Amino acid sequence: MKLICFLIIGILLIFSTSALALDGKVVGVSDGDTITVLSADKTQHKIRLYGIDCPEKAQDFGQKAKQFTSDMVFGKVVDVEAIDIDRYGRTVGMVSINGQSLNEELVRAGYAWVYNQYCKKPFCAQWDLLQKQAQANKKGLWSHPNPVAPRDFRRGGSKGHQAVTGPFHGNTNSRVLHSPTCKYYNCSNCTAVFKNNDEAIVAGYRPCGVCKP
């Protein structure tokens, strides 16, 4: 009986992953590595680019990375090869337009780090070379004498920027989490209090699309 259950789960996972392979028009660009794609059935899909990490919007070159992504794909039809689903429910995948990889081009232009913690595909080694070339040529963020990786910035490792800390408020109705800097932080239903966003995620809350705690 257990074997049958495992087989059924495996088949469902295969089909669910396949269903995430899609093409559609890019209708939103949240930042350099996150876009929204509208598929033919009018469903919006939030896509997190696989294997890379662009500067946060509040970081140096964060807005330029977002503009690079917008210039390349906004309003255009792209192909999305789904690889995973992240903890926020976003599709993590490869995005390409006319055979050109957005993920790779961001690294080549110096607007993204290769996210080695998660980039495990064979082509990630090639991306590492592209990153080194961008560094050597001082492209994009590498023109800065001491660029801070987004993962360090999110942990408060940026000099000159103060990372947002808690307590965070959760909307008990929508189950959306807000940071202290968010305009929705003190909403009428924002009565759940969390020390950090990880604690809130475990409790079933999802990050606000505005403040992105």
Question: For residues 26 and 74, is the Cβ–Cβ distance under 8 A?
Answer: yes
Q: Which amino acid is at 32?
A: G
Q: Looking at 90, 108, 154, 206, which residue is catalytic?
A: 90
Q: Does residue 154 have an active-site annotation? A: no
Name residue, tokens 């070379």: 129
Question: What are the angstrom distances between the C-alpha of 54 and each of 35, 84, 115?
Answer: 12, 18, 9
109 exposure class (CB count in 10 Å sphere: 0-12, 13-18, 19+)? middle
Q: Does residue 155 have an active-site annotation? A: no
Q: Does residue 48 have an active-site annotation? A: yes
**d(C-alpha 168, C-alpha 194), whole Å:** 5
**d(C-alpha 9, C-alpha 53), whole Å:** 31
Give the catalytic positions in this structure. Answer: 48, 56, 90
